[in-house]
């Protein structure tokens, strides 16, 4: 499985996107940690967005994730 991810340290938000992620069609559902993103046809999980990522994810993982190509709030 291919996983793409980014972490914006200023916003403290991390994104993990899985195979078949399509930003044009994804359906987002708010959760206690941020967002869960689903494929609309079969409700398969295709992405996760973690708000307050430093509380939710291991520091080693966050260090491995590159910054997003466009900063949050731009």
d(CA 15, CA 56): 12
CA atoms within 13 A on the CB side of 41: 5
Residue 49 confidence (pLDDT): 97
User: Is the separation of the CB atoms in 50 and 57 below 8 Å?
Assistant: yes
| Model confidence pLDDT, tens digit, residues 36-65 | 999 999 999 999 999 999 999 999 999 999
Q: What is the pLDDT confidence band of residue 74, given thresholds at 50, 70 and 90?
A: low
Q: How far, CA to CA in Å, does 62 sit from each of 8, 22, 25, 39, 51? A: 9, 23, 27, 25, 12
Domain residue ranges of the chain, discontinuous segments joined by +: 3-64
At 71, the pLDDT band (50, 70, 90 cuts) reads low
pLDDT of residue 16: 97
């Amino acid at each position: 499985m291919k996983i793409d991810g980014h972490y914006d340290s200023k916003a403290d938000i991390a994104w993990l996107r899985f195979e078949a992620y399509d930003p044009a069609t994804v359906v987002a559902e708010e959760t206690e940690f941020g967002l869960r993103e689903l494929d609309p046809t079969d409700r398969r999980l295709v992405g996760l967005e973690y708000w307050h990522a430093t509380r939710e994810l291991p520091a080693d993982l966050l260090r491995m994730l590159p910054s997003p190509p466009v900063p949050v709030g731009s």
